[in-house]
Structure 1
């Protein structure tokens, strides 16, 4: 009955008012609830608060996931440090592989050993932290990434941005850094009228913004894909009739495939963020770029 009424309202479109729009939305929501299918939405990233609702200290499911990821990260490295042996076991080998990867394949590869030695802790912390926060999106009962809300990506981007500016100013001074960043060498001076505004936007706006947007968009998209596949699986398996139940196999297979893809994306985005951090810092301390 509710479904038929919703369809009638969607086909007959009189002059809309806020009241009629709200009524239609309520009927469609009721239709969705009646069918048993609950499509994922952006509201998944804004769950109700457990504590301190409406305050800067609001604590909700996203914050809980972040605390769990941070605790897991600390636990891994504390255990690795306490159990370190001259002949490492598998756990120690895995941790040392990640540390070597961050040091040699990211920091030293981009910045060189001499300049990069100072920034190994920063790059390693960024890579490991983002990796753990990303992977919570595929862990059962957590099911959402800690970087899926913009606050945490902004924190990492600001950390890189401040380090980037501090490194450049520390080496060249304020004037030297601005000259090096905004006035590329080897370019006719007349072109600075066009290039300098572009360089300003790139250095002070686009670099930190793209760090945030790239990470955030990938985590949001991954969550919505996984939630859609497994919500559809639940609907087809439990609520659909007849041969429609067979579609649950297809959606479950899709969910499994997207889970593997999401693990890959979680690692890839941590790597991209870390290598861009190293690249931006290196650009700020190079005499020419």
Structure 2
């Protein structure tokens, strides 16, 4: 067999990463059932444990930071105050407005650090799994944000007033209403939570997929292929390291963007004009 044929044969032994790598099995006993022709299971999975762990960590950290407040803050209190001030000022007051922002700061604050720490777990050894690479978990967050958005607008404008405020554009001829009102309703009410979730999910999924590809691909090229492929494998590992640092930046930015968009949606629902 020629060397080219041998290389092709050996290359076929590499199994490329795919969506199945994100479908982690339950931890401990589980029960399966059929739903729409698919085998589903009931059980506790790693992403579930990570979400609970992060919720506890965020609560305990900021509770400890605020427990013994002093005029001259210690290190823990200082970190807590800086984190709270960042969300309060840059995503609360500056976006929603100084008049209406305070009731929504606790939600934005908890949401930001909950998403951020969950995202960062993808870069921490032992965990190394992005919680929000599971679409169902992201859509749950988006649904909560959607309810906050609707609740804020309906509380201020009433149900009918909010729908009119959101779906009827001002300064447009009534003759255009039959075309624009369904588009505005779909864009502002129906599609908004979907796009909010997809942005976070796709970035976490794609980033982790790249890391798996470069890590496993580099290992395969160095260990399983001939020595001629070793430099390519080393290059793949170098790219893995570079992308790992880039992924940390993306993890922060995705948490920031998710909460920033929440604040913008709340501001839009509270505004007096559309």
Q: Give the TM bin, normalised by the shorter chain.
A: 0.7 to 0.9
Pairing 1:246–2:231 present: yes
Pairing 1:204–2:182 present: no
Counterparts in 2 of 1:39 and 1:79: CA distance versus 1, 3 Å: farther
For each residue in 1:92-135, what CA deviation from the matched residue of structure 2 results, as whole angstroms up to 9, or x when unmatched? 33332221110000110111122001100011111111111111
Determine the C-alpha separation between the residues in 2 that align with 1:40 and 1:66.
24
1:218 Cα deviation (Å)? 0.5
For each residue in 1:110-163, what CA deviation from the matched residue of structure 2 results, as whole angstroms up to 9, or x when unmatched? 111220011000111111111111111111121111111012211111111111
Counterparts in 2 of 1:116 and 1:248: CA distance versus 1, 3 Å: same
How high is the TM-score relative to the length of structure 1? 0.83
1:119-130 alignment, distance < 5 Å: 119-130=104-115
1:1-289 alignment, distance < 5 Å: 35=13, 37-50=14-27, 51-54=29-32, 57-82=42-67, 84-289=69-274
How high is the TM-score relative to the length of structure 2? 0.87
For each residue in 1:149-181, what CA deviation from the matched residue of structure 2 results, as whole angstroms up to 9, or x when unmatched? 012211111111111111111111111111111
For each residue in 1:16-68, what CA deviation from the matched residue of structure 2 results, as whole angstroms up to 9, or x when unmatched? xxxxxxxxxxxx9xx77x94x44321012211112333377521222233333
Where does the alignment leave 5 or more consecutive residues of structure 2 unmatched? 34-40
Count of aligned residue pairs for this structure pair: 263
For each residue in 1:222-262, what CA deviation from the matched residue of structure 2 results, as whole angstroms up to 9, or x when unmatched? 11011111112322343333242233331121111111111
Contact 2:84 2:109 in 1 (8 A): yes
1:280 Cα deviation (Å)? 0.8
Q: Does 41-50 or 242-251 show the bigger shift?
A: 242-251
Q: Does 243-252 or 185-194 show the bigger shift?
A: 243-252
1:206 Cα deviation (Å)? 1.3
Contact 2:214 2:240 in 1 (8 A): yes
RMSD: 2.5
Counterparts in 2 of 1:75 and 1:249: CA distance versus 1, 3 Å: farther
Determine the C-alpha separation between the residues in 1 that align with 2:181 and 2:224.
60
Q: Does 54-63 or 126-135 show the bigger shift?
A: 54-63
Determine the C-alpha separation between the residues in 2 that align with 1:63 and 1:80.
26
